[in-house]
Amino acid sequence: MAELRLFAAAREAAGTDRVTIAGDTVGAVLDAARARFGETFAAVLANSRVWRNGDPASDGDPVGASDEVAVLPPVSGGAT
CATH of the domain at 11: 3.10.20.30
Print the domain residue range for 63.
Answer: 2-72
In a domain, 78, yes or no: no
Question: Tens digits of per-residue pLDDT, 4-24?
Answer: 999 999 999 999 999 999 999
In a domain, 35, yes or no: yes
> What domain count does the chain have?
1
In a domain, 80, yes or no: no
pTM of the model: 0.91
In a domain, 40, yes or no: yes
**pLDDT in the model for residue 76:** 63
pLDDT at 72 over 80: yes
Core vs surface per residue 5-32: b (16+ CB within 10 A) or e: bbbbbbbebbeeeebebebebbbbbbeb
Question: Tens digits of per-residue pLDDT, 21-66?
Answer: 999 999 999 999 999 999 999 999 999 999 999 999 999 999 999 9
